[in-house]
Structure 1
């Protein structure tokens, strides 16, 4: 596949993944059974500032990117688009999807949102344009301070949940489920979304092989 065509497909994959990521966040918010850690913080900030969920997501992503500077992290194009695209897509889906009335409907909506979040995460990361601001913060703490990744992730997520809960964010069973389930759900999906003909990992593998054949 020509490099320009592969790049176009990668951008399409990135944008689809980011839209689905925002949509999955919105579905969890509508379920009202508890949301992921950063969403708890966003909901809490809604009680403090007169902005929409999506606007707060965009602004908070910008603030988190500023924290990358002392951690010596460098954002990629995917990082910047992540910060700009997820908030508006979440606002759109929040506007389109009403809050369900029954408990079973809420649980089903949350489960659907969690599955969609795992797919969206693997989808956008598989495009190979970099991770989002929040994941990069944890990586930066790991690389700069020498903390294990699990410790950096745990400390950051527990901190934002506490702050979000104090501000009035929705902490519930879904928050705990999302914290423990999302990693195992994303991991088996990652190889699948890196097998597309335009995936950068496949190009890295194929091109050296092609060069070795020419040399022979």
Structure 2
């Protein structure tokens, strides 16, 4: 295995663990859940389907949206589903809910920044994005729009839809929707693993025709 291959694997695993930890930080801050969780709450209220199952259903629908965008899942897509949840549970077990507002704001801000870094790590590993991040990168690739604009548009749309369905919106939810796109836009170039260099074309003269 090459150095780049080892780096990509380690970067993927670290990014997914930190992603789950960042979710736990924002949940413990109790300033508002992410727009996707607002959508899950609203969908659960409207249908009676438990929140966890509704989250899985939304993830499946998002994966179906990959088809017209010509996105392909990778090992990172599978591991996203398998590892983010357990790492979030570890974070929730380690963290407690702060009692003071300034501490909650600080915890939420740290979680938001960490989520952007984690997204840059595991998306930058180029082993397959998660369902929601794949939607972002797919629209970016097909439309040519900046990453920050695509992500902000997705988060804003999801937030409004979830709110209309009855999901709970807090100040942290609005901050997440507005800031996560620009933050990921900053993180992706920093952590993107470079493409493997292609071999140089053979420019040696054809000995069969040389001198003719």
Unaligned runs of 5+ in 2: 206-212
- Contact 1:40-1:170 at 8 Å conserved across structures: yes
* 1:116–1:141 Cα change, 3 Å: closer
Aligned partner of 1:123 in structure 2 is 121
- Contact 1:62-1:83 at 8 Å conserved across structures: no
**Higher Rg:** 2
Helix, strand or coil: the match of 1:191?
Answer: helix
Q: CA deviation at 1:160?
A: 2.4
Question: 2-side partners of 1:157 and 1:17: how far apart?
Answer: 20
State the Cα RMSD in Å. 3.4
> Is structure 2 residue 188 aligned with structure 1 residue 185?
no
Q: CA deviation at 1:125?
A: 1.3
Question: 1-side partners of 2:140 and 2:184: how far apart?
Answer: 21
State the aligned residue count: 202
Q: CA deviation at 1:27?
A: 1.1
1:158 aligned residue (156, 159, 164): 156
- Contact 1:31-1:100 at 8 Å conserved across structures: yes
Deviation by residue 1:167-200 (Cα, 9 ceiling, x = unmatched): 6544122222222222322333333323xxxx34
* 1:121–1:114 Cα change, 3 Å: same
- Contact 2:156-2:177 at 8 Å conserved across structures: no
* 1:170–1:29 Cα change, 3 Å: farther
Unaligned runs of 5+ in 1: none
